[in-house]
Copies of this chain bind each other. A is one copy, B any other.
């Protein structure tokens, strides 16, 4: 039975899962959830994920929500397929640490910036310049840490591309088209890392899904 991903092509969380599946060369069925119509907050979807968030994932009997739990499952369960996105033992502990850094240091700030600069204008709402300024300052500090890390290691988790890098792709897809790009460009190692991870064919396949709607 083929894996299923219930989600939306513009959802950054769903994009993480699509990118992982394409990196692993795994077949999957995309089940669109019409978030514009609020389908993710309706009873039928809440029975799948009571928190009302995409993506929802099925692999036979296994049903999962929370994008980072899904990508970890896929990477470990199908470790012999496609790109090796995780490793074992002590090196995995370091990869895991940088995955937590993405989730707790990068993503909260990147999400606020995406909301203000990308999504609010899309919904006809006004961007709050003070929130943007505050979060650009926070992002700059996070990227200083990334610059130091990427001076020692080709990728965040280790010398190979892993989930620690991949989890950043959706936010970067949104932010690199905005004024925030300057914060990445100002840091040579970060800038090279962004160029590298944004050029991955698997990500191109995720972005191509947007044209297939």
Q: Does A145 contact B (CB under 8 A)?
A: yes
| Given contacts A51-B105, A89-B77, A105-B51, A66 and B100 within 8 Å (CB-CB) | yes
Q: State the number of copies, please.
A: 2
Interface of A is mostly: helix
Other-chain residue from B69, B101, B103 in contact with A97 (beta carbon distance below 8 A):
B69
| Given contacts A77-B89, A145-B50, A100 and B62 within 8 Å (CB-CB) | no
Closest residue on chain B to residue A99 by CB atoms: B69
**In the complex, per-residue mask of A90-101: 1 if CB is within 8 Å of any chain B CB, else 0:** 101110110111
Q: Does A207 contact B (CB under 8 A)?
A: no
Bound together, the chains give a CA A67 to CA B145 distance in angstroms of 18
Which A residues fall within an 8 A CB radius of B? 50-51, 61-62, 64-66, 68-70, 72-73, 76-77, 89-90, 92-94, 96-97, 99-101, 103-105, 144-145, 148
Q: What's the nearest-Cβ distance from chain B to residue A89, in Å?
A: 7
| Given contacts A100-B69, A145-B51, A93 and B105 within 8 Å (CB-CB) | no
Contact A62 B50 (CB under 8 A): no
- Besides the known contacts A66-B101, A73-B96, A103-B104, 13 further A-B residue pairs in the complex with CB atoms under 8 A apart: A50-B144, A50-B145, A51-B101, A61-B90, A62-B90, A64-B94, A64-B97, A66-B100, A69-B97, A72-B93, A73-B90, A73-B93, A77-B93
| Given contacts A72-B96, A93-B77, A66 and B104 within 8 Å (CB-CB) | yes
